[in-house]
Each structure stands twice: as C-alpha cells, then as structure tokens.
Structure 1
C-alpha cells in the first residue's frame, strides 16, 4: 500500500513538470491558454506535498503500532 502512495506522489510531480513545460512553450504564443496549466502546476505541487506528509504520517503511525 505504501508503495502505491509513493508512486502517486511522483505522478503529481510528473503532471507538474508537464504543466511547467507547457507554460514555457505556450507563454509567448497564447498567454491566456497558459493559465490552466499554471493552475495544474500549482495544484499538482500542492498535492505532492500533501500526499508526502500524509504518507509519512501513515508510516509513522504503522511503525508506532507495531512496537
């Protein structure tokens, strides 16, 4: 289960990286279209941080319960 949580963290980072790439390529062409990618990048980075904290708390709780 924890491995799945770890993979989803990096999935959010991948979405953020793709969004940042699209922002860089579209900024000079159509700045209004980049706003949705800015939103995706910010939300993805936020979700990465949130999921990482949640996973670490989950691991710590399991570690404490086993002792």
Structure 2
C-alpha cells in the first residue's frame, strides 16, 4: 500500500500535461482548449481529494 502515497502525484503530472495542451490549443486557430482545461481541473481536484483521504487513512491506522 506504500505506492498509493505516490500515485496522487500522477494526477499533478496529468494536470500539467493537459494545461500545456490547452495552452497550445489556445494559440492555434480552430481548436477548442476547454476540454483540456476541464480535464486538468478534474486532475487537480483528484490530487487534493486523494491527498486528503490518504492522510485520513494514515491517521486512522496510527490510532490503532
């Protein structure tokens, strides 16, 4: 279960990739970058969600 602490950072990497993709689509004509920014926003949300619950589970196991 130790690898679950590090998988939350994958969401940050995904968010960075989609923000970069969205910025490049902004500079091109005829492209819509909003889906890329939406996926980046969801990835950032998932990072904080996973971080919160991993801390919650760590605190739970420390009490036992």
**Normalising to structure 2: TM-score of the pair?**
0.89
Q: Which has the higher contact order (CA 8 A, sep 6+)?
A: 1
- 2:63 paired residue number: 64
The alignment of Structure 1 onto Structure 2 pairs a total of residues equal to 64
Is 1:50 aligned to 2:49, yes or no?
yes
1:1-67 equivalences in 2 (<5 Å): 1=1, 3-30=2-29, 32-65=31-64
Higher percent of residues as helix: 1
Q: Which runs of 4+ in 1 moved over 4 A?
A: none
Instruction: Please give the root-mean-square deviation of Cα atoms over the aligned residues, in Å.
Output: 1.4
